[in-house]
Amino acid sequence: MKSAFRNAYFFTVSLSRSLNPNTNPNLNLSPIFHKLPLLSTTTTYLSLPLLISRHRKAPGRSFSTTLTMSGGADSPSPSLDKQFEELRSKLEESGRLREKIRAVVLEIESTTRLLHSGLLLVHQSRPVPEVLEKAKARIGVLKGLYNRLAEIILECPGQYYRYHGDWRSETQIVVSLLTLMHWLETGNLLMHTEAQEKLGLNSLEFGLDIEDYLIGVCFMSNEMPRYVVNQVTAGDYDCPRKVLKFMTDLHAAFRMLNLRNDFLRKKFDGMKYDLRRVEEVYYDVKIRGLTATGDSNGNQGVVEGES
Per-residue confidence band for 20, with pLDDT thresholds at 50, 70 and 90? low
**C-alpha dihedral sign at 225, 229, 235, 237:** positive
Q: pLDDT-based confidence at 14, cuts 50/70/90? A: low
Amino acid at residue number 174: V
Model confidence band, residue 7 (pLDDT cutoffs 50, 70, 90)? low
Q: How confident is the model at residue 155 (pLDDT cuts 50, 70, 90)?
A: confident
| pLDDT (average), residues 87-110 | 92
* Location of each CATH 1.20.58.190 domain in the chain: 93-208
pLDDT at residue 203 above 50?
yes
Exposure letters 148-166 (e unless 16+ CB within 10 A, then b): ebbebbeeeeeeeeebeeb
CATH code for residues 210-289:
1.20.58.200
**Numbered ranges of CATH 1.20.58.200 in the chain:** 210-289
Q: Residue 25 has what DSSP assignment?
A: T
Mean pLDDT, the chain, integer: 79
Q: Which amino acid is at 217?
A: V
How does residue 32 score in pLDDT terms, banded at 50, 70 and 90?
A: very low
At the second CATH level, the architecture of 93-208 is: Up-down Bundle (1.20)
Average pLDDT over residues 5-24: 51
Closest CA to 98 of 146, 166, 175, 21: 166
